[in-house]
Amino acid sequence: MSELKKSPLHARHEAAGAKFAEFGGWSMPLQYAGIVAEHKAVRASVGVFDVSHLGKVTVRGAGAVDFLNTCLSNDLGKIGDSQAQYTLLCNEAGGVVDDLIVYRFAEDDLFLIPNAANNATVVDTLRARAPEGVEVTNIHDDHAVLAIQGSRSDETLTAMGLPVGHDYMSFDVAEFDGVRLTVCRTGYTGERGYELVAPVADAVQIWDAVMAAGAEFDIVPCGLGARDTLRTEMGYPLHGQDLSPEISPVTARVGWAVGWKKPEFIGHEALRAEREAGPARRLWGIKATGRGIPRPHMTVLDADGGEVGEVTSGTFSPTLQAGIGLALLDAAHEPGVKVNVQVRNRVEEFEVVKPPFVTPGVRES
């Protein structure tokens, strides 16, 4: 097994007492003070995550936007320069190779943030299809990414002199103390927040500045454990669990990230056919009516004990003080229906719900 890669902020995390775990081939902080405390800090005020393990890819050259639009699911024609878009790279069968964010700097200059484990696959897939004049470059190790999330994120960045207040899923290029940054209003927590992309060489300087600027707002460093509980409360899918090469955007109910009016994208024929026929299973939220906590791969049962689905993501919600999760359920099982989950050696009752489980603050102006 190859040695795990480390974030450029690894020494800072060690000094802060982080506990580490493997994420996509990287050793990343799982938690510092504790997952629940970090989760609540983001919901109440502000937290900062190191997500430098995420992939980074540039696609440049004449016709870059048009090329990407024939590969990725969403319609890049719907956004302009200085805007970002959530999208999917599918396979020909309609399964999801990866979900990613595209930053559009210009028609011939785009920046992609895939998931860590899928970065190389995304690069290889796009390179194999790229026409002459379009260059796909793997820059996974060249940039750090910090996510400042929470209702006090604006104040934190304002204290650094960085731009804030732009529309959701849009970005600015800014400078902080000589460092060129991309400041994008997005994140994976459901709260108002921003993601900063900076050169690796400047990562420590930016991290220290964020921590100093956020001190008066009780900012805390947050690990990927809290990121997971936060995104589950929002019903945001995680690739490898809720999305995968075997789980399509139609099944996972992320068809809103598919440009159905586009003439083509990878997997479009299979997805159009599935959409027309209706998927055999759909991804819904499940919320415990008792004390059960769902975990991935647990079996979902109907009232008669028949198998009707499988949990894909599950956790204890610090906000709701209840077990919540996402599950692939037979098409007949929709919000309002009661189901059971086999939690170890007992059966626990859950209600099928439509996420998010909590009220999001991400779009608040």
Residue 94 and residue 24 in contact, taking contact as beta carbons nearer than 8 Å: no
Per-residue pLDDT tens for 260-289?
999 999 999 999 999 999 999 999 999 999
332 in a structural domain: yes
Chain centroid to CA 81: 22
DSSP H or E segment with residue 287: strand 281-288
Residues 195 and 310 occupy one common structural domain: no
Give how many domains the chain has, as a whole number.
Answer: 3
> Which domain does 187 fall in, by range?
5-51+141-233
74 in a structural domain: yes
Rounded Cα distance, 296 and 256, in Å? 25
DSSP H or E segment with residue 13: helix 10-15
**Which residues are 327's β-sheet partners?**
284, 311
The H-assigned helical ranges of 192-290 are 203-213, 224-234, 268-277
Predicted local confidence at residue 1, as pLDDT: 55
Predicted local confidence at residue 62, as pLDDT: 98
Q: Mark which of 138, 167, 197 sits at the end of a domain.
A: 138
Rounded Cα distance, 38 and 174, in Å? 28
Residue 172 and residue 194 in contact, taking contact as beta carbons nearer than 8 Å: no
Predicted local confidence at residue 193, as pLDDT: 97
Predicted local confidence at residue 362, as pLDDT: 78
Residues 287 and 328 occupy one common structural domain: yes
State the CATH number of the domain containing residue 190: 3.30.1360.120
Predicted local confidence at residue 365, as pLDDT: 58
311 in a structural domain: yes
* Ranges of residues in the chain whose predicted pLDDT is under 70: 1, 363-365
